[in-house]
Amino acid sequence: MRREVTASGPGRGHARNFIVDYRRATCDNPRRRLLFQPARRHRVRRISPCNLYFENATAMSSRRNARERVVQALYAFELGGGEESAVINRIIRPGFDDDPTAFAFAESLFLATLDIRDQSEKLIRRHARNWELSRIALVDRLILRMAICELLKFEDIPPKVSINEAIDIAKKYSTANSGRFVNGILDAVVAELVEEGALRKSGRGRVGLESISGTNGAST
């Protein structure tokens, strides 16, 4: 039973289509997996591990891959429900057989995003002016939830990294204007968290905080 789901959102951009095979998404056979693909395929560039710069680039690439897998898992869970562990095993785990660190990050980000869903939705609703949640593209909402979770629960990730990653993923997987929309919402969320003293970052997560107005005393 295959069905084409069109994600739509604010702006004039045409949403890219996501093909979801519900039979595969809910089947107990682990060889069958959810089909979740952007309209365009991107060629993978091989990176040499010999140079420190490229090693850092590889680590960043692994985190990007992890975030994309998390969005896919959130999408599957939103539409099909089921056990969280089953979604992790079918969608997240297969991409990280040789990268346990990236898998651990993706798994924890997926579960934490689900845990604070209500809190994230309240923040999105408060700053999505003139937009009902039901009118915001599902993919955009999932990306926003994930980014807000990083802001609140991952103290070692700088806010600018979370925001930029969310923007890039939105541009890749959602509508033409999703990047700008996601950027605007997250900027407003960060401003609110700073004002309330709820943006708590430590270590590497403090990088760039000086450029965010009013962060003094808001992070640890």
Asked if 179 and 168 count as a contact pair (C-beta separation under 8 A), the reply is yes
Residue 61 has, within 13 A of its CA and on its CB side, a CA count of 14
Domain count, the chain: 1
pLDDT recorded at residue 45 = 42
Query: Which one, of 135, 192, 145, lies nearest residue 170 by Cα?
Result: 145
pLDDT recorded at residue 36 = 46
The per-residue DSSP string of 163-218 comes to HHHHHHHHHHHS-TTHHHHHHHHHHHHHHHHHHHT-----GGGGTTGGGSTT-TTT
Asked if 117 and 145 count as a contact pair (C-beta separation under 8 A), the reply is yes
pTM of the model: 0.72
How many degrees, rounded to 5, is the angle at CA 58 between CA 54 and CA 60?
115
pLDDT recorded at residue 60 = 57
Q: Which residues contact 98 (CB under 8 A, 6 or more apart)?
A: none
Whether 136 is covered by a domain: the verdict is yes
Q: How would you label 179-207 residue by residue, b for 16+ Cβ within 10 Å and e otherwise?
A: bbbbeebbebbbeebbeeeebebeeebbe
Whether 217 is covered by a domain: the verdict is no
Query: Which one, of 213, 168, 220, lies nearest residue 199 by Cα?
Result: 220
Whether 220 is covered by a domain: the verdict is no
Whether 219 is covered by a domain: the verdict is no
Whether 107 is covered by a domain: the verdict is yes
In angstroms, the CA 194 to CA 216 distance is 9
pLDDT recorded at residue 132 = 72
Q: Per-residue confidence of the chain (220 residues) as pLDDT tens digits?
A: 444 333 444 443 434 434 343 334 444 444 444 434 444 444 434 433 333 333 344 455 799 999 999 999 999 999 998 999 999 999 999 989 899 999 999 999 999 999 999 999 999 999 997 777 778 899 999 999 999 999 999 999 999 999 999 999 999 999 888 999 999 999 999 999 999 999 999 898 888 877 775 444 344 4
Whether 82 is covered by a domain: the verdict is yes
Q: Find the domain containing 196 and state its range.
A: 2-211
Q: Residue 156 sits in a domain of what CATH number? A: 1.10.940.10
Whether 183 is covered by a domain: the verdict is yes
In angstroms, the CA 189 to CA 25 distance is 33
Whether 37 is covered by a domain: the verdict is yes
Residue 126 has, within 13 A of its CA and on its CB side, a CA count of 14
